[in-house]
Amino acid sequence: MTPLDLSAAAAAERVRAGDLDAGELWELYRGRAAADDLGAFVWVAEERPGNPTDGPLGGVPVAVKDLFCTAGVPSQAGSKILEGYRPPYTATAVERLTGAGAPLLAKTNQDEFAMGSSNENSAFGPVRNPWDRERVPGGSSGGSAAAVAAGLAPWAIGTDTGGSIRQPASLCGIVGLKPTYGAISRYGMIAFASSLDQAGPLTRDVADAALLLSAMVGKDPCDSTSLGLPEPVTEPTATDLRGVRLGVPEEVFETEGVESGVLAAFEATVELARQLGATVERCHLPHAPHALSAYYLIAPAEASSNLARYDGVRYGLRVNGDADLLTMYLRTRGAGFGPEVKRRIMLGTYALSSGYYDAYYGTAQKVRTLISDDFRAAWERFDFVVTPTSPTVAFPLGAKTADPLAMYLNDYFTVPMSLAGIPAISIPNGLSERLPTGFQLAGPAFSENRLLDAAHALERAIGFDGSAARA
Amino acid sequence: MLALMIDRARVDHVARLARLELTDEESERMVRELSSILEHIERITNLDLADVPPTSHVVDLTNVLRPDEPRPCLPREAALAQAPDATEDGFRVPSPSA
Amino acid sequence: MTDYEPVIGLEIHVQLSTRTKMFCGCELSFGDPPNTHTCPVCLGLPGTLPVLNARAIDFGILLGLALECEIAPRSLFHRKNYFYPDLPKGYQISQYDVPLCRGGRLGEVRIHRVHLEEDAAKLVHLGESGRIHGSAHSIVDFNRGGTPLVEIVSEPDVRSPEQAREWLQLLRTTVRQLGISDVNMEEGSLRCDANVSIRPVGRSELGVKTELKNMNSFRFIERGITAEIARQTALLDAGEPVVQETLHFDPQSGSLTPLRSKEEAHDYRYFPEPDLVPLVVTEEMLAEARAQLPELPAARAERYARELGLADDRARLLAFRSELGSYFEAALAHDGEDPQTLANWVVGELVSRIGDADPAQSRVAPEALAGLVGLLRAGRVTQGGARQVLDRLVADGGDPAAIVDAEDLGAVGGGDELGAIVDRALEAQPEEVEQLRQGNMRAIGPIVGFVMRETKGRADGKEVTRIVRERLGLS
Ligand SMILES: [Mg+2]
Ligand SMILES: [Zn+2]
């Protein structure tokens, strides 16, 4: 067994036990990252940082999505408007990781400002899926997902606004966790939609996700919406699901566009859960079918405001600085943003503009209330709600770029949890047509430990082997 | 239907509000794309939401306050370091009233 | 010609004197080199988030209570979206439909609302002329950006430019007494805009209003509003409509020019700030603020009227210029016999000599003024003599009794001395005596005048009259 075959948690364990040299581990992954031919990285560290390796993360290097600000290191959120931008400060989540002993290995490619589900919206080129290089890795944390799946990084972090951790994790055959909104500080995360954005781990297995999560959570005085989890994140150890009540939303089966292979893999795992002792029943989330609509009003609206700061004055691209102010604004932003970002800025600006607020943004906020209420009702009967993560397996590069609406439908199963602010995890769920599918479990706010435990039990029973993607 | 109200004039107005320069082609495409997206989205406007309160924050927090205590500022060079056009002491911009 | 009544509402921005900015730990500064008080948050760098300054909230509550507002049990912050180089995030964090304070009153003007927000940065315009227009480039200085502000919006209850100025002075005194701001118009910590309309007297519906900006002194506010009322009156008299617009007042020329109309109507796209959680004002916070509330001008004026029996206008003059009130109360501590006369000497005699200066900074100690009023009451000095003593006090300070003695300004005593002078006066003016005997009391003037000349003003006029009547046997 080479260190490449070790999960990150196992590697950390060996480093701490003195059985593995952290420097050697660094060199192994730095070499693999530098040789990246998937387009997974936008920056790779030249030298090993001097941070301690005796922390809980044991010196195991971490790859970080481009949009996390890292002092002195490019932090461009996949956008031309921030090309070459090196911030003077580091995001809280990254500070905590390096403080816990994980050196910064690389910055990963992503959809521009986290807007996308295929990673084709990056100003720095697309990312390829290691399972099939002609296919997308999912997005927006596509670089992080591809890097971990391909063994170019032991583990990585990303952000999830409507599924941007879970969907690429699913398409790349790895674990992706979106924690409860507020569990990890957003300070230093270049914002897409503030009321939805949440950082989280992308890892080879559930135990890695728990370990990486444990290092990042906690209240941050720099983020007013951050909060402490009620209990520390523990190592998941469950091997069965006795006493666990799973709800399968009716809506999963009422939806067109779910691939049959994806559905078959999902149903097989539901059956597996029964065998592990879970009770499984149908449940009803009546407003979930409206989640996508609410999401595609709320997220663009917040984004239109969050992206107003890219004006060519204090940082980033400037075009026509010698023209009048209005021209400079128009040209800078017109040249700096890609098509998807422009589309969402337009959608969001329209949804907030005078005369349309109530019909669009106001309505979406009310639907958001109903979706939270649906989940709250579900928690009276169930511990978790389970769905496929993505309705499809990884699709070919370019397949959906001409049809934004088809692209948005990728988020169908992941968006409701984002709107409700609840934790959800995607675990690899076997292959369909030789491509990974994902199984999503969602629980009430702050149920991370129970969620990770259940995911751990299922993961063991599924026995997914991702080594092919690292070959 | 509100989606039907998306026309070229509205797209141009919104682009101006958002300070986005769009090419002719981009604007035309935006008319089509926004119309089709909004047509899909607009189904929620038919829901009966009269008694439903809006959710702006999912976290149940109030009064997150900071003590009024100074923290170190950035050195001026660091503040100006990333600016596309800086003078020795500030950020240079086209004059708004020129 | 129609008579018009002005209807004026004021919008005031007050910079709070917290130590740090509204949403970050940068220390507030005045006059420091540009861009030396910034951090990732107030520069609006990608990824940064605002965190509310607790003291700014306390100050907002204090002001709300002082203005007798209703404090919202739960209020929200919103984003006000627009592009401008002095606005680093492309939006201003402000309060919108659920402000911290609503309703309220200060003096005779009702308060519509009070809310918290952050200040914009400063734009320094470059260019040969040094003027705003015609300069190609500007420099942005973010030192001021993010300073906590309260915005106070009055109801349109003001009816004249003088009233606007006086009310603003009252507001400034109130804010200053609360200790929440320097409220200095020259330094920009107090800024005022006015909404002005006029309507025919007796009409209740409002006319079209204009917004006046850039009135950065009390004098300019009065002049700006006066000019705008004149402009609107001329328009209406000529049968032309008033157009709703924003005007810039140029204090040098006294002219009003419309601000360049925007490319599109303002559409601020307000929505709740997702980076901040709601503000809930608890009973404890309210109780703490109430305990801190000092006596404010309006309450002080009322107390002067109620407890000291001062006339309303006297009471308000003293209370609305808090330095006069403080001086008055210091003097009152030395002589509380006759507050009315003491008040008259402060706002009348003393102010006419020292103008707008703080009397505490003058050479007249409060106990000296109190002593002088005491001498006056005891008849040791006449009204005229006391005025001369005050002139001395203003010039050189000192003790009034000592000045009276040294300068021989004491009242000519009653009895024999004054009686003898009155006798001489009657002797010298037989014609007036004859008229007095026939009942024409106006003839007493020249007689009193004679006595005053003789005594160099040190005689008490009343006493002189009494002796004249006694001598001539008039009832
Ligand atoms: Mg304001
Ligand atoms: Zn700051």
DSSP C54-82: HHHHHHHHHHHHHTTPEEPSEE--EEEE-
**Residue C253 predicted with pLDDT over 90:** no
Q: Which of C43, C44, C49 sits opposite A224 (nearest CB)?
A: C49
Contacts of B97 in chain C (CB under 8 A): 125, 132-133, 135, 260
**What is the per-residue pLDDT for A254?**
85
Q: Which residue has the tokens 């910064």?
A: A104
Mutate to test the interface with C, among B14, B82, B85, B91 (most CBs of C within 10 A): B91
Percent of chain C's residues with pLDDT above 90: 63
CA of C41 to the centre of ligand 2 (A): 5
Annotated active-site residue A107? The verdict is: no
What separation in angstroms does the CA of C373 have from each of C97, C380, C414, C461? 55, 10, 19, 17
CA of C51 to the centre of ligand 2 (A): 11
Q: Give the span between the Cα atoms of C48 and A323, in whole angstroms.
A: 29
Contacts of A320 in chain C (CB under 8 A): none
Q: Answer yes or no: are the C-beta atoms of A356 and B2 closer than 8 Å.
A: yes
| ipTM of the modeled complex | 0.97
Beta bridge partners of C106: C109
What separation in angstroms does the CA of A54 have from each of A14, A28, A51, A209, A371? 11, 19, 9, 19, 43
Nearest chain C residue to A353 by CA: give it: C269
Nearest chain C residue to B70 by CA: give it: C25
**What sign for the dihedral angle of Cα C160, C163, C169, C172?**
negative
Q: Give the span between the Cα atoms of A152 and A175, in whole angstroms.
A: 15
Indicate yes or no: pTM above 0.80. Answer: yes
Contacts of C445 (CB under 8 A, 6+ apart): none
Residue at B38 is within a domain: yes
As residues whose CB is below 5 A from the ion ligand 1, the structure lists: C 151
**Residue C467 predicted with pLDDT over 90:** no
Distance, CA of C291 to chain centre: 25
Instruction: List the end-to-end C-alpha distance of chain A, in Å, as a whole number.
Output: 14
Q: Which of residues 22-81 of B touch C (CB under 8 A)?
A: 56-57, 59, 61-74, 76, 79-80
Q: Which of residues 5-24 of B touch A (CB under 8 A)?
A: 6, 10-11, 14-22
Q: Give the span between the Cα atoms of A43 and A88, in whole angstroms.
A: 17
pLDDT band at C414 (very low <50, low <70, confident <90, very high): low
Beta bridge partners of A428: A438
Q: Which of residues 218-277 of C touch B (CB under 8 A)?
A: 260, 263-264, 267, 269, 271-272, 274, 276-277
Interchain pair C46, A315: CB under 8 A: yes
Measure in Å the smallest separation between the Cα of A1 and chain C Cα atoms. 41
Q: Which CATH superfamily is domain A3-240+445-470 in?
A: Amidase signature (AS) domain (3.90.1300.10)
Q: Give the range among C20-24, C94-98, C167-171 with minimum mean pLDDT.
A: C167-171
Interchain pair C91, A305: CB under 8 A: yes
Of A7, A140, A185, A214, catalytic: A140
- Options 1.10.10, 2.60.120, 2.40.50, 2.60.40; CATH for C416-472 is 1.10.10
Beta bridge partners of C81: C91
Residue at B17 is within a domain: yes
Collapsed DSSP state (helix, strand, coil) of residue C384 = helix
Prior bond of A7 cis (ω within 30°): no
Number of domains in chain B: 1
Q: Give the range among A109-113, C284-288, C412-416, C465-469 with minimum mean pLDDT.
A: C412-416
Residue at B95 is within a domain: no
Interchain pair C20, B13: CB under 8 A: no
Q: Which of C45, C51, C52 sits opposite A87 (nearest CB)?
A: C45
Interchain pair C56, B59: CB under 8 A: no
Instruction: List the end-to-end C-alpha distance of chain C, in Å, as a whole number.
Output: 56
Beta bridge partners of A63: A106, A156
Contacts of A319 (CB under 8 A, 6+ apart): A312, A328, A331, A332, A334, A335, A336
For C150-178, what is the mean pLDDT?
95
Take residue A171 and report the two structure tokens written for it.
């398409």
Interchain pair B20, A408: CB under 8 A: no
Q: Give the span between the Cα atoms of C212 and C452, in whole angstroms.
A: 56
Which tens digit of pLDDT belongs to each residue from C109-148?
999 999 999 999 999 987 644 444 455 899 999 999 999 9
- Chain A positions with Cβ closer than 8 Å to C: 67-69, 75, 77, 82, 85, 87-89, 91, 186-191, 193-195, 221-225, 301-302, 304-305, 307-309, 311, 313-315, 325-326, 329, 349, 352-354, 357, 361
Q: Give the span between the Cα atoms of C203 and A434, in whole angstroms.
A: 82
Mutate to test the interface with A, among C20, C48, C91 (most CBs of A within 10 A): C48
**Residue B27 predicted with pLDDT over 70:** yes
**What is the per-residue pLDDT for C186?**
84
Provide the greatest CA pair distance for chain C: 99
Q: Which ligand is nearest to the CA of C213?
A: 1
Annotated active-site residue A117? The verdict is: no
**What is the per-residue pLDDT for A8?**
98
Annotated active-site residue A164? The verdict is: yes
- Residue C155 sits at φ, ψ, to 5 deg, of -75, 160
CA of A226 to the centre of ligand 2 (A): 20
Q: Give the span between the Cα atoms of C75 and C392, in whole angstroms.
A: 58
Q: Which residue has the tokens 């005699």?
A: C349
**What is the per-residue pLDDT for C413?**
67
Q: What is the DSSP string of A129-145?
A: BTTBTTB---SSSHHHH
Q: Give the span between the Cα atoms of A45 and A104, in whole angstroms.
A: 7
**What sign for the dihedral angle of Cα A72, A77, A78, A81?**
negative
Measure in Å the smallest separation between the Cα of A77 and chain C Cα atoms. 9
Identify which has the larger pLDDT, C133 or C22.
C22
Enumerate neighbours of C (3 or more CB pairs within 8 A): A, B
Enumerate neighbours of A (3 or more CB pairs within 8 A): B, C
Which tens digit of pLDDT belongs to each residue from C322-363?
889 999 999 999 988 899 999 999 999 999 999 888 899 999
Low-confidence ranges of chain A (pLDDT < 50): none
Type and span of the H or E element at A415: helix A415-420
**What is the per-residue pLDDT for B90?**
97
Contacts of A153 (CB under 8 A, 6+ apart): A29, A32, A33, A61, A62, A63, A105, A106, A108, A144, A147
**What is the per-residue pLDDT for A252?**
84
Give the CA dihedral A309, A315, A317, A318, nearest 10 degrees.
Answer: 90
Q: Answer yes or no: are the C-beta atoms of C232 and C198 closer than 8 Å.
A: yes
Q: Which residue has the tokens 């790859």?
A: A63
**What is the per-residue pLDDT for A324?**
93
**What is the per-residue pLDDT for C345?**
94
**What is the per-residue pLDDT for B98?**
60
Contacts of B37 in chain A (CB under 8 A): 296, 347, 404-405, 408
Q: What is the mean pLDDT of chain B?
A: 93
Q: Which of residues 58-87 of C touch B (CB under 8 A)?
A: 74, 76, 83-85
Q: What is the CATH number of the domain that holds B28?
A: 1.10.20.60
B78 at A interface, C-beta within 8 A? yes
Contacts of B95 in chain C (CB under 8 A): 125-127, 132, 135-138
Give the helix ranges, DSSP H, for C397-441: 400-407, 415-428, 430-437
CA of C122 to the centre of ligand 2 (A): 14
Measure in Å the smallest separation between the Cα of C225 and chain A Cα atoms. 31
**Residue B2 predicted with pLDDT over 70:** no
Domain hosting B27: range is 8-45
Q: Give the span between the Cα atoms of A62 and A157, in whole angstroms.
A: 8
CA of A136 to the centre of ligand 2 (A): 41
How many other CB atoms sit within 10 Å of the CB of residue A55? 17
**Strand C148-154 with C122-125, pairing:** unpaired
Q: Which ligand is nearest to the CA of C153?
A: 1
For C215-242, what is the mean pLDDT?
94
Interchain pair C20, B71: CB under 8 A: yes
Interchain pair A224, C51: CB under 8 A: yes
Mutate to test the interface with C, among A220, A314, A331 (most CBs of C within 10 A): A314
Type and span of the H or E element at C150: strand C148-154
Residue at B84 is within a domain: no
Q: Answer yes or no: are the C-beta atoms of C19 and B68 closer than 8 Å.
A: yes
